[in-house]
Amino acid sequence: MTAITVRPARRLAGGTAAGLGVAVLYLSLIVLIPLAAVVWRSADEGPGYFWRSVTTPDAWAALTLTIGASALVALINLVMGTAIAWVLVRDRFPGRAVLDTIIDLPFALPTIVAGLVLLALYGPQSPLGINLAYSRAGVVLALLFVTLPFVVRTVQPVLLELDAEMEQAAASLGAGPFQIFRRVILPNLIPAMLSGTALAFTRAIAEFGSTVLISGNLPFKTQVAAVNIFSQIEGDNTTGAAAISTVLLVVALVALISLDVLQRWGSRRG
Amino acid sequence: MAKHVLRLVAVAYVLFLLVLPVMLIIWRTFGDGLAPFAEALTSPSALHAFKVTLTVAGWAVVANTVFGVGTALLLVRHEFPGKRLLGAFIDLPMAVSPVVVGLALILVYGRFSPFGGLLESWGIQVIFSTPGMVLATVFVALPLVVRAVVPVLEELGDEQEQAAHTLGASRLQTFLRITLPGIRWALGYGIVLCLARSLGEYGAVAVVSGRLVDQTQTLTLFVEERFQNFDQPAAFAAATALALIAVVTLLLTKLLRPKDRIDGN
């Protein structure tokens, strides 16, 4: 312990202090001060104004739609993401490597392009005859697109490292495939599944670009919180925009803190 | 049987959610050959949007690479109070909506804020101009280089660096000869991710740029503006260009990733 405390003292005296200073200054100017300004501005006119800004009918509708749609999207991701990870790890078929690569495409594809491609297939000119434009289903579709990789990429490595011997032992003791999945595999996967789901949820509540084109941004119907904030900024109501932003920040923070708690719980069990 | 059903469900889900929509847009863009695609992307507005995008993304990548490597070194090689907090703050941008990023920057650097007003009196306009767009892009892509480099630095250890130091190498020499070659693949991976994120940013840039056509319009803003103005060919062409950049990014990261594992071991 002493060795660890002596070393930093020596190093901090050198260029480290300067480096740390620059890093903190950079982070403060770009991230911390601006975010603090949002929270500060939201409280500018007092708690009454904050509450009224958040509960105006259109803002409240946007917030509940965002949180509801994000919860649904997180749930679908929990199931589908785990299924895809399972197929990628345990199944062998031609094209598996391609599937494995393209899962990350939503991370690389600009969100506005994501919205446009979805609108091409599921919009008014849909070759499939499915039109989800300007509907809540369209919002959910856009959120599913951008959050696809999260659960897959958190579950996949855990599944890869899972010890096959445990499953063989269970099978030799007479457990059926479903029992093995539920009693042996699932308990090992749950922490990763939940953290992937939490990440997908925080991404979904923050989403803007992909929903802009497909949702049509109809207030009370398809307008998500980020779009509502955007229109308030355009309308020069920055205090109202800051209030809704603060709510989004708090929801994201709560989700991330629960994720951290889950991960600790997971690593304790592992 | 169950195995085949699961495979079918997983493949169909990815096919209908991801593959078919992207293929359709590429098909629509190139349906009439390459000429309309080239024509749509060489219009003065499109070329200007390309230029703005490259300028903003270029500055953002340089800034985040320097900050990313420096901060990764701080986090891995040094001990200081508040280290965990710094690590948490670096991940913060991931949880913030792009629109909130834009609002945050307007509140601090906008004309009507004290700081923004001061900068304006010095002749520096941040919001509705390139510096603001660079700030917004730096914000959203901030964690990517740090998070790519940190695990490899941890795995490398600092024995070689200390050996170089004992043999009389300066800090800069040690960094250039020992540390940088050790992290090069991970750094490349981080830079590619950062570049892709910067080229594709939409929400934060939409707020701080003021979306002025032929002035602060980036390629992603161009896609949206052309689409809303019923110019589908131009919107599709620019979207396809961005999608192709995304695919190249994906393949590059795929190439860079396994190698850094070998480097690390």
Residues A124 and A225 in one domain: yes
Domain spans of chain B, in order of start: 35-100+127-264
pLDDT (mean) for A240-262: 90
* Whether A259 contacts chain B with CB within 8 A: no
Residues A19 and A149 in one domain: no
**Tokens found for residue B202:** 């939409």
Residues A247 and A131 in one domain: yes
* Cα angle for residues A15, A18, A23 (degrees, 5° grid): 125
- Compare CB distances from B10 to A7, A87, A233 and report the shortest one's residue: A87
Give yes or no for residue A156 having a pLDDT over 80: yes
Which amino acid, residue A133? A
Which residues 166-205 on chain B approach chain A with CB closer than 8 angstroms? 171, 196, 199-203
A110 neighbors B98 (Cβ within 8 angstroms): no
Q: Of A26, A103, A109, which is closest to B246 when you measure between CB atoms?
A: A109
- Minimum CA–CA partner of A201 in chain B: B95
**Pair B196, B246: CB distance under 8 Å:** yes
Least CA distance to B113: which residue of chain A? A37
> Of the candidates A202, A203, A200, A205, which has an alpha carbon nearest to the alpha carbon of residue A66?
A205
Residues A261 and A180 placed together within one structural domain of the fold: yes
How high is the mean pLDDT of chain A? 89
Q: What is the pLDDT at residue B234?
A: 93
- Is A245 in contact with B95 (Cβ distance < 8 A)? no
Domain boundary among A9, A24, A42: A42
Identify which of A86, A264, A99 has the alpha carbon closest to the alpha carbon of residue A186: A86
**A6 and A124 both lie in a single domain:** no
B35-100+127-264 maps to which CATH number?
A: 1.10.3720.10
A52/A37 same-domain check: no
Cα separation, A163 vs A166, whole angstroms: 6
List of residues 6+ apart from B99 with CB closer than 8 A: A208, A226, A227, A229, A230, A233, A245, B203, B204, B206, B207
Q: Please judge whether B106 and A238 are an interchain contact, meaning their C-beta atoms are less than 8 angstroms apart.
A: yes
Residue A120 lies in domain: 47-269
pLDDT band at B165 (very low <50, low <70, confident <90, very high): confident
Q: Which tokens hold the place of B88?
A: 């948490």
Q: How far is A105 from chain B (nearest CA, A)?
A: 7
Measured distance CA(B25)–CA(A177) in Å, rounded: 42
What is B70-95 written as a DSSP string? HHHHHHHH---TTHHHHHHHHHGGGG
Instruction: Please report residues of B whose CB lies closer than 8 A to that of A10.
Output: none
Does one domain contain both A52 and A34? no
Query: What CATH number should be reported for the domain holding residue A162?
Result: 1.10.3720.10
Q: What is the DSSP letter of A135?
A: S
**What's chain A's Rg over C-alpha atoms?**
23
Answer whether A23 sits within 8 Å of B67, measured CB to CB: yes
Single-letter code of the amino acid located at A179: Q
Written as six digits, the tokens of A30 are: 């770009």
Same domain, A139 and A231: yes
A104 at interface of B, judged by CB pairs closer than 8 A: yes
Give tens-digit pLDDT for A192-238: 899 899 999 999 999 999 999 999 889 999 999 999 999 999 999 99
**Is the domain of A135 the same as that of A2?**
no
A12 shares contact with chain B (CB less than 8 Å):
yes
- The total domain count for chain A is 2
Contact B247 A108 (CB under 8 A): yes
A1 plus A70 within the same structural domain: no
Question: What is the rounded CA–CA span in Å between residue A124 and residue A134?
Answer: 10
- The set of residues, in sequence order, having a beta carbon less than 8 Å from that of B189 and lying 6+ positions away, is B148, B253, B256, B257, B260
Predicted ipTM of the assembly: 0.90
With 60 as the cut, is the pLDDT of residue B263 above it?
Answer: no
To 5 degrees, how large is the angle CA A235–CA A236–CA A242?
A: 105
CB contact at 8 A, A216 and A231:
no
Q: Across residues B129-149, what is the average pLDDT?
A: 95
Give the number of A-B residue pairs with CB atoms closer than 8 Å.
236
Distance, in angstroms, between B250 CA and closest chain A CA? 7
